[in-house]
Amino acid sequence: MDKIIEYMLAEDEGFGDITSNAVVEEGKTVKAYIVSKDEGILAGNKIIRDLFEEFGIKVTFWMKDGSEISKDDLLMSMQGDARTILLLERTALNLVMRMSGVATAANHYVSLIKDSDVRVAGTRKTSPAIGKFDKYALKVGGADTHRFALDDMVLIKDNHIAACGTPLEALLKAKQNTSFSKKIEIEVESLDDAVECVKNGADIVMLDNMSPDEVKEVIGELEKLNIRQNSLIEVSGGITDETIMDYADLGVDIISIGALTHSSRSLNFSLRME
């Protein structure tokens, strides 16, 4: 994450902040603060505090990650070199605004199913290079991060199956070639494939793009065969805040939502200098 932030700063600075260097006196010390112009859940405050402090800016927290924030809330204040604060401003704000947007979206969906025994999870549909920041924000918002990277667990998706044969063939190959220490999840699109994968020891079976009625049929068949408890059941694909309870009420274990990271709206924050 430090390397990513270093690149972000280099990208934004180019060959130097010619505006600040032209109009701001060198060595001038100022006070500044970040305020919210939005409502939601704060995430990333600690990360940007570390960023400012690394460049010698003294930072004071007023709200911490996970806090509910409202318009005009004071998030942090700082004191230090004016040119440095201006150099870091946009990178810091872009990060904390995006992360807070992801955390807010996650918190929204988690709150919708708070009375259900089901877990909301993100996906790997994150922004390139800043996936770990998105994952941190998901956690702050109360959602499960799912996989951080490809080495976290085996997740057999439609393209793996297309290159291999059938879902069952892919599952059996994974079980043969994977350490016992790694969980194996497989994505299926039909009742028969779901049943076969549960019977053959998949740790997690993802019901992809199934309607609530189709998911209900799968759950019912697994219960009828007395194998429902053998695998965790995850649902994914186009789930919205209008439909999430339709799935949660069916007794699934995990609801994964790519929109938490690929479509969430960044919150709006502002840095103001005295």
pLDDT tens per residue, range 111-168: 999 999 999 999 999 988 899 999 999 999 999 999 999 999 999 999 999 999 999 9
Closest listed residue to residue 36, CA positions, set 69, 85, 84: 69
Write out pLDDT tens, residues 10-58: 999 999 999 999 999 999 999 999 999 999 999 999 999 999 999 999 9
Q: What is the mean pLDDT of residues 214-240?
A: 96
CA angle 114, 119, 121 (to 5 degrees): 120
DSSP H helices, the chain, are 2-13, 18-23, 45-54, 82-112, 131-140, 158-164, 167-177, 191-199, 212-224, 244-248, 259-262
- Annotation says 125 is catalytic: yes
Query: Distance between CA 37 and CA 15 in Å, rounded?
Result: 31
- Catalytic site residue from 31, 46, 125, 216: 125
Residue 234, pLDDT score: 98
Q: What backbone phi and psi angles, to 5 degrees, belong to 78?
A: -150, 160
Q: Please say if the pLDDT value at position 176 is more than 90.
A: yes
Q: Please say if the pLDDT value at position 2 is more than 90.
A: no
